[in-house]
Amino acid sequence: MIRVESPGVFWKTPEIVAWAAGRAFAWIDDEITQADHAWVKEHHDGPALLRRIDARRGLVADDFAALTAWGTARATGPG
């Protein structure tokens, strides 16, 4: 496990970034915070979508739309 000393960063954040190793990734979770967004932006060179969901509702139509739009942009974008 990677140890992070940044307040508010979810323990999963550095683990996921390490696993992604610069590759694009989408992460959906109910515990993502602004601290996680900032940490990923600072420590990950590739594209990343962090999407916080409501644990009581799970994924809803807006989440699927955001994931589809993000994935489509990656598939049709440069490179």
Please give the pLDDT value at position 1: 62
Return d(Cα 28, Cα 53) in angstroms, integer. 7
The pLDDT tens digits of the residues spanning 9-42 come to 999 999 999 999 999 999 999 999 999 999 999 9
Position of tokens 């940490």?
39
Please give the pLDDT value at position 70: 96
Q: Does residue 51 carry a pLDDT above 60?
A: yes
Domain ranges of the chain: 12-76
Return d(Cα 3, Cα 16) in angstroms, integer. 13
- Closest among 7, 28, 39, 41 to 70, alpha carbons compared: 28
Please give the pLDDT value at position 21: 96
Contact 44, 22 (CB under 8 A): yes
Q: Does residue 79 carry a pLDDT above 60?
A: no
Contact 68, 33 (CB under 8 A): no
Mean residue pLDDT across the chain: 91
Q: Tokens standing for 9?
A: 């960063």
